[in-house]
Structure 1
Amino acid sequence: FALVREAAYRTLHQFHFDVQIAGGLALAEGKIAEMRTGEGKTLVATLPATFHALSGKGVQIVTVNDYLARRDGVWMGQVYHYLGLSVGIVTSAGAYRYDPSHVAEGEDVERDAEGSFKVFYEYLSPVEKREAYAADITYVTNNELGFDYLRDNTAYDASQIVQRGYHYAIIDEVDSILIDEARTPLIISGPVGDSQTFYERFAEIVRGMKAGEDYSVDEKQKAIQITEEGMHKAEIALGLENLYTEGGVKYAHHLETAVRAQALFQEDKEYVVRDGEIIIVDEFTGRMQPGRRWSEGLHQAIEAKEGVKIKEETRTYATVTFQNLFRMYERLSGMTGTALSSEEEFYTVYKLEVVAIPTNKPSARRDHDDLIFQTAAGKYRAVAHAVKERYIKGQPVLVGTVSIEDNETVSTFFTNEGVPHEVLNAKNHEREGEIIAEAGKEGRVTVATNLAGRGVDIKL
């Protein structure tokens, strides 16, 4: 640990605080370190990662999105490289090795001028996935780790396998991955060639149905119930006497799926339409998930609803949940700002103890009471007015929203109030690094979805 501390000081000019050493010890022992926001969890991970990498069996540091895997791999790669350890980075966009020789001196000066927060691809040398996983320390997203595991298990040849053994992992934002998304199945599937005309036909039928009359919606349980009137309406449209006969069961499934697509899934909330495709927006991270599809015909039903090209239905070849994936590791640890509330579940399911790490300095944050408004418009006007007051004072402001739709609504109110601002959501995630690097500067106003909710470090 002393060696890593000195290496971090020489490369990053950052010296691990005593509380960060305590966090590193908890992680090295296979526990969860609860550390408050802004306490430097990214730097803490270098301590146990280096310690366990010395075994030669490999260490995976798991992040919740591609941006963080790249950022942390490049940022902390300087420390590992100084200690003679190799660093791999695996994202949905590709696999890389950290290579400081990949950037010229002129670009280095430019990077320092813009602020070290911005991640430059010049440090990342593209490699095969197998090589990235073979590094001493690999930064990888939870989704990519899971899908690579599934791909390895469906590979026809040993040469196609990219991962190594499951020795030791540090999970960043561990409650998000092991609790919130624990039961989320990762699925690899292939086409089965079901008829596409069914989806278009049922989308048309459901457009003529009314909520509350033809079907009821349970928003909390994400469930729908088709009424007798709705069933009768569908039977007339299809020319059938009874949907629930042996020959009509397939129709009943399509009808229920079409109603779910209509009632429970909204554009700019659960998904976005981009370049004629339906792209899922992750409810936990607010990020687009290209290539991921809902199963059991739901994705096709949404494609029919939005009038885009309907892709073939698929059959599952392999599936795994994060809960089962991470229980394969010999030793597991994690970091988050909110673990004590799930302490019992962490121990019952994963045999992981939670250790609360004190803050380096007392928190200066002040929490105010919630304000309740009668209408959404009234709430947005009040937010815009409050933000304008702080903007005039030069105070940087971050406004969090739960969906892209709300994000864009707030933006409209700010524009009407004359408040210059940046918008960050899944539609413009390419500018994420740039927007976040500027968000803490004087007079900056940023309206973000939960895209900026996990692992994002806004420097004031």
Structure 2
Amino acid sequence: MFGALAKSIFGSSNERYVKSLGKLVDKVASFEPAISALSDEDLVAQTVKFRERLAAGETLDDLLPEAFATVREAGKRTLGQRHYDVQMIGGIVLHRGEIAEMRTGEGKTLVATLATYLNALEGKGVHVVTVNDYLARRDCDWMGQVYRFLGLTTGVIVPNMREEERREAYNADITYATNNELGFDYLRDNMKYDRAQMVQRPFNYAIVDEVDSILIDEARTPLIISGPTDDKSELYISVDGIVKQLTDDDYEKDEKQRNITLTEDGTEKIERMLEAAGLLEGDNLYDFENTQVVHHVNQALRAVMMFRRDIDYIVKDGKVIIIDEFTGRMMDGRRWSDGLHQAVEAKEGVNIEPENQTLASITFQNYFRMYPKLSGMTGTAATEATEFHEIYKMNVVTIPTNKAVQRIDEEDEFYKNTNDKFRAIAKAIGEKAKTGQPVLVGTVSIEKSEMLSDFLKEEGVAHEVLNARFHEREAHIVAQAGRKGAVTIATNMAGRGTDIQLGGNLEFRVDDELAGMAEGPERDAAVERIAAEINAEKAEVLAAGGLFVLGTERHESRRIDNQLRGRSGRQGDPGLSRFYLSLDDDLLRIFGPDTLFARMMNANMEDGEAIGSKWLSKAIETAQRKVEARNYDIRKQVVEYDDVMNDQRKVIYEQRSDIMDAETVDDVVADMRIETVNDIVGAACPPGSYPEQWNIAALAEQSREILSIEPDLQAWLNEDAVDPEMIEERLAAMADAHVAEKMTQIETNDWHMVEKSILLQSLDHHWKEHLSTLDALRQVVHLRAYAQKTPINEYKQEAFALFERMLSNIREDVTQTIGRVQFRMEEPMDMPELPVLPDFITTHIDPFTGMDNTDDSDAGSQGAITTMIPTQRLAVPENGETVATGEISRNAPCPCRSGKKYKHCHGALA
């Protein structure tokens, strides 16, 4: 009670903080008269002056008032828009590395120019992160006018760009890109073999637009770069056919966790069917030999029983395309991991593409935490303020609106079933459309949007349907959703980033209606006519009550509902919002208090009757809080597990970077050789043992296989003072001499390049295998809980031990490869092509639900990364046999007839 009283007197902490920024805003305003009086040339010269002041020792905070005033004036001259004082507050918040929560229509895109320009003055690069490619291009072109006018360079990163174009965009002062493109470029950069091939610069500062969508919703899902593995199409088809024969009694579904498990009878039934199909070893499904079959059965169960066509995915042109659960957009080029996508392809009877093996991965949490300074902006962040602070150390600041919000948010209406609800919705939309009030309808899936479309057709209401099937028209449809009598059905997130202006959007109407008209008086007159029509139409829409936002269902997250509501009532416009709910809605059915709803609604309500109740709305909010808490736990778990891998990732990536930057890696290779010798001797001659207990035969074999030397161990044993240290010193000396002799066979520079190439390739090969092992460990470590052990602690211990073993394997591999390699002299010629990595597949998969949250096309299709040893001499085995050229399978026997697979022999050099 005392807290409420203090808040009423002194204001909330947020209000006090915003008020404290008023002095800085006044200081910015004090520069406005002088800045406005400058000519265009003098205004452009401000950038040079600011950079000179930075070089002289001033800080960005010192420059802020004058720099913000400069941007404000540049915005007036290039865009015809002047930053409001509340937008100045937003700019200060962004510059300070905090999150600015600003209502829809308050001009977040324009706000970003303030902090972006100020921080770009350092010349270290600023990244502006958007939720999709359209917004990245649009904002770069639109706000880029301000930056280019002031003498700064801009770049944009979109899929399918060449590496030279990416590098140029990253080298610009300001770079616009999606979160996925940034993350994938980081991973790809750390798979390359030459610093000059890398496209990104060191991290400096990032502003994340729609920060809640990117750092919260999509943060459940790591970014993954993978490559194809063996084809198992027949197995998927066979298991799919068996699973489709099961009945409801054979399995149990957990829709909250999106899991499905076989019952005891179901297990026995599927064992008999697998046995008849010849897919079972023995008669027990859970024998060790059937591990792979169990995995395929589980994925087929999820695909057939849990994943629904036109909701979780659609089938288009013979391909299964994922639908984003948040945006409703098609994720063309993205695939579920761990065989789930193949199981869905088998279910739908389309061509099954091979599974993929993880080559590199990172979560958004760990990617964005690498920026020394990070800020964000959105219309809805306050509900997740705790998570933003705990994970990213960012505070959420609610920025007051420029004009008071006039929107009316009505109580939810509840109906017994979906049909009753949709009839009521169609009727309400029809009534509003007749009055000329535009209606924006938010749905949660394609299925629901098309169902509502059918109801509206029965009512004779003209409307636009915007969902994953028509996402290419998204921005244009949403931009005109404010026109008189317009009815637009959209998935809740569709068109986010596109402003809905009452009466229509001039820019989009001009693009749509005057696309083929050349510049000139006729076009200018047409633009004036359209502008007049929009103004007249806006007056009619305002009289009708502004935009009516209608939600057909509550989303799991209150933020998504608030985002939908926020589309109405921009810049003080009137507006209305209302949600329609039923007992059939997923949120109520899965997470709500089923029995209370069922008793009350079924017993007391007639068909088609609606009720509105604060108690029911409170119950809905409680259900949403439950889901939000569960999703936060999932994201925290993702972070906890990825933090373990992230520590290891940093070590590996820093090591790669050091190797690429070093002129020579002789010292590194020599240290690896010594460590390998110590490991070999330590295994054969354990500390504290007697010489007669030593495994001399194994030591001799390891010396020959790994070090490529033939020591006279028996003679050493006959000496009086023999001990493991003496053996280590002698073996190391022989190995060093053996390598030194090889170094004389080629030019010194060539030798350094070969060493570096071998080291990098060995590092990458073992890191890839390590990632696969960690993936497998993560899938089963939760079982340790049955032994009263904490899974995350067990994972940390196991991962550390696996990492140590990987480092040992790298040292041994590098030592063995360098010890066995030999060179033969040839006339200078073109270097033959060595085997290259396949085209990468980029995915952004939720490891807990299997959902894919990416929203742009394949980021990795610009080509494979090739590996070349920069020397004109060929590596051949000790026996002098030449290596056959051409395409060689990684798992095929090596052509040198060593008896090893190609990937473990000469393929290790490729």
**TM-score, length basis structure 1:** 0.90
> Deviation per CA, 1:205-254, whole angstroms, max 9, x where unpaired?
1111123x111111111111111122122112111421111222211111
Corresponding residue for residue 224 of structure 2:
187
Cα distance in 1 for partners of 2:230, 2:459 equals 52
Q: 1:230 is aligned with what amino acid?
A: G
Secondary structure (helix, strand or coil) at the match of 1:365 reads: strand
Corresponding residue for residue 201 of structure 1:
238
Could you tell me which of 356, 366, 369 is aligned with 1:324?
Answer: 366
How much does 1:346 deviate?
A: 1.3
How much does 1:433 deviate?
A: 2.5
How much does 1:93 deviate?
A: 5.2
Secondary structure (helix, strand or coil) at the match of 2:219 reads: coil
Could you tell me which of 310, 314, 317 is aligned with 1:272?
Answer: 314
Closer/same/farther in 2, CA of residues 453 and 432 from structure 1, 3 Å limit: closer
Could you tell me which of 211, 214, 221 is aligned with 2:257?
Answer: 221
Secondary structure (helix, strand or coil) at the match of 1:291 reads: coil
Contact kept? 2:231, 2:353, Cα under 8 Å = no
> Deviation per CA, 1:387-422, whole angstroms, max 9, x where unpaired?
111111111111001011111111111111111111
Corresponding residue for residue 334 of structure 1:
376
Contact kept? 1:64, 1:285, Cα under 8 Å = no
Could you tell me which of 174, 181, 192 is aligned with 2:211?
Answer: 174
> Deviation per CA, 1:133-163, whole angstroms, max 9, x where unpaired?
2211111111111111111111233333221
Q: 2:214 is aligned with what amino acid?
A: I
When structure 1 is superposed on structure 2, of 193-202 and 303-312 the one drifting more is 193-202
Corresponding residue for residue 858 of structure 2:
none
Could you tell me which of 127, 132, 136 is aligned with 2:173?
Answer: 136
Cα distance in 2 for partners of 1:82, 1:412 equals 50
Cα distance in 2 for partners of 1:244, 1:377 equals 45
> Deviation per CA, 1:346-388, whole angstroms, max 9, x where unpaired?
1121111111111111101100111111111111111111111
Could you tell me which of 62, 65, 71 is aligned with 1:4?
Answer: 71
Cα distance in 1 for partners of 2:160, 2:414 equals 42
Superposed counterparts of 1:295-306, under 5 Å: 295-306=337-348
- Does structure 1 residue 349 correspond to structure 2 residue 387? no
Contact kept? 1:183, 1:323, Cα under 8 Å = no
Corresponding residue for residue 125 of structure 2:
58
> Deviation per CA, 1:292-348, whole angstroms, max 9, x where unpaired?
211110010011111111001111000000000000001000001222222222112
How much does 1:446 deviate?
A: 0.6
Q: 2:70 is aligned with what amino acid?
A: L
- Does structure 1 residue 27 correspond to structure 2 residue 94? yes
Cα distance in 1 for partners of 2:196, 2:491 equals 41
> Deviation per CA, 1:409-447, whole angstroms, max 9, x where unpaired?
111111111111111111111111221232111111110
Secondary structure (helix, strand or coil) at the match of 1:441 reads: coil
Secondary structure (helix, strand or coil) at the match of 2:361 reads: strand
Cα distance in 1 for partners of 2:164, 2:439 equals 40
Corresponding residue for residue 49 of structure 1:
116
Cα distance in 2 for partners of 1:199, 1:67 equals 37
Could you tell me which of 454, 466, 476 is aligned with 1:424?
Answer: 466
Q: 2:389 is aligned with what amino acid?
A: Y
Q: 2:224 is aligned with what amino acid?
A: I
Cα distance in 2 for partners of 1:227, 1:82 equals 68
Could you tell me which of 266, 286, 296 is aligned with 1:230?
Answer: 266
Corresponding residue for residue 157 of structure 1:
194
Corresponding residue for residue 103 of structure 1:
none
Secondary structure (helix, strand or coil) at the match of 1:84 reads: coil
Corresponding residue for residue 91 of structure 1:
158
Corresponding residue for residue 447 of structure 2:
405
Could you tell me which of 324, 329, 349 is aligned with 1:287?
Answer: 329
Could you tell me which of 228, 244, 247 is aligned with 2:289?
Answer: 247
Cα distance in 2 for partners of 1:38, 1:393 equals 24
How much does 1:92 deviate?
A: 2.7
Cα distance in 2 for partners of 1:79, 1:379 equals 48
Cα distance in 2 for partners of 1:60, 1:281 equals 27
Cα distance in 1 for partners of 2:161, 2:316 equals 21
Superposed counterparts of 1:353-372, under 5 Å: 353-372=395-414
Secondary structure (helix, strand or coil) at the match of 1:204 reads: helix
Corresponding residue for residue 444 of structure 1:
486
Cα distance in 2 for partners of 1:277, 1:310 equals 9
Q: 2:141 is aligned with what amino acid?
A: V
Could you tell me which of 36, 42, 60 is aligned with 2:103?
Answer: 36
Contact kept? 1:425, 1:451, Cα under 8 Å = no
How much does 1:194 deviate?
A: 4.0
Percent identical among aligned pairs is: 59
Secondary structure (helix, strand or coil) at the match of 1:146 reads: helix
> Deviation per CA, 1:262-301, whole angstroms, max 9, x where unpaired?
1221122121212111122222222222222111100100
Q: 1:128 is aligned with what amino acid?
A: E
How much does 1:199 deviate?
A: 0.7
Contact kept? 1:424, 1:451, Cα under 8 Å = no
**TM-score, length basis structure 2:** 0.46
Cα distance in 1 for partners of 2:135, 2:309 equals 26
Cα distance in 2 for partners of 1:389, 1:347 equals 45
Secondary structure (helix, strand or coil) at the match of 2:242 reads: helix
Q: 2:269 is aligned with what amino acid?
A: K
Q: 1:157 is aligned with what amino acid?
A: D
Closer/same/farther in 2, CA of residues 55 and 81 from structure 1, 3 Å limit: same
Cα distance in 1 for partners of 2:454, 2:190 equals 48
Contact kept? 2:99, 2:396, Cα under 8 Å = yes
Cα distance in 2 for partners of 1:310, 1:156 equals 33
Which ranges of structure 2 fall in alignment gaps of 5 or more residues?
A: 1-67, 503-910
Cα distance in 1 for partners of 2:141, 2:448 equals 33
Q: 1:270 is aligned with what amino acid?
A: D
Contact kept? 2:210, 2:376, Cα under 8 Å = yes
Contact kept? 1:88, 1:135, Cα under 8 Å = yes
Secondary structure (helix, strand or coil) at the match of 2:309 reads: coil
Secondary structure (helix, strand or coil) at the match of 2:285 reads: coil
Cα distance in 1 for partners of 2:199, 2:468 equals 29
Corresponding residue for residue 357 of structure 2:
315
Cα distance in 1 for partners of 2:327, 2:475 equals 16
Contact kept? 2:328, 2:467, Cα under 8 Å = yes
Corresponding residue for residue 428 of structure 2:
386
Which ranges of structure 1 fall in alignment gaps of 5 or more residues?
A: 96-125
Q: 2:185 is aligned with what amino acid?
A: D
Q: 1:168 is aligned with what amino acid?
A: Y
Between Structure 1 and Structure 2, the one with more helix by share is: 2
Q: 2:259 is aligned with what amino acid?
A: A
Contact kept? 1:426, 1:451, Cα under 8 Å = no
Cα distance in 1 for partners of 2:309, 2:175 equals 35
How much does 1:6 deviate?
A: 0.8
Q: 1:53 is aligned with what amino acid?
A: A
Cα distance in 2 for partners of 1:430, 1:354 equals 33
Corresponding residue for residue 137 of structure 2:
70
Cα distance in 2 for partners of 1:127, 1:41 equals 31
Closer/same/farther in 2, CA of residues 269 and 94 from structure 1, 3 Å limit: farther
Structure of higher CA gyration radius: 2
Cα distance in 1 for partners of 2:354, 2:327 equals 27
Cα distance in 2 for partners of 1:214, 1:313 equals 28
Q: 1:66 is aligned with what amino acid?
A: D
Corresponding residue for residue 650 of structure 2:
none
Q: 2:198 is aligned with what amino acid?
A: I
Secondary structure (helix, strand or coil) at the match of 1:459 reads: coil
> Deviation per CA, 1:48-87, whole angstroms, max 9, x where unpaired?
0000111111111111112221222222122112112222
Corresponding residue for residue 210 of structure 1:
247
Secondary structure (helix, strand or coil) at the match of 1:139 reads: strand
> Deviation per CA, 1:95-142, whole angstroms, max 9, x where unpaired?
8xxxxxxxxxxxxxxxxxxxxxxxxxxxxxx97111122211111111
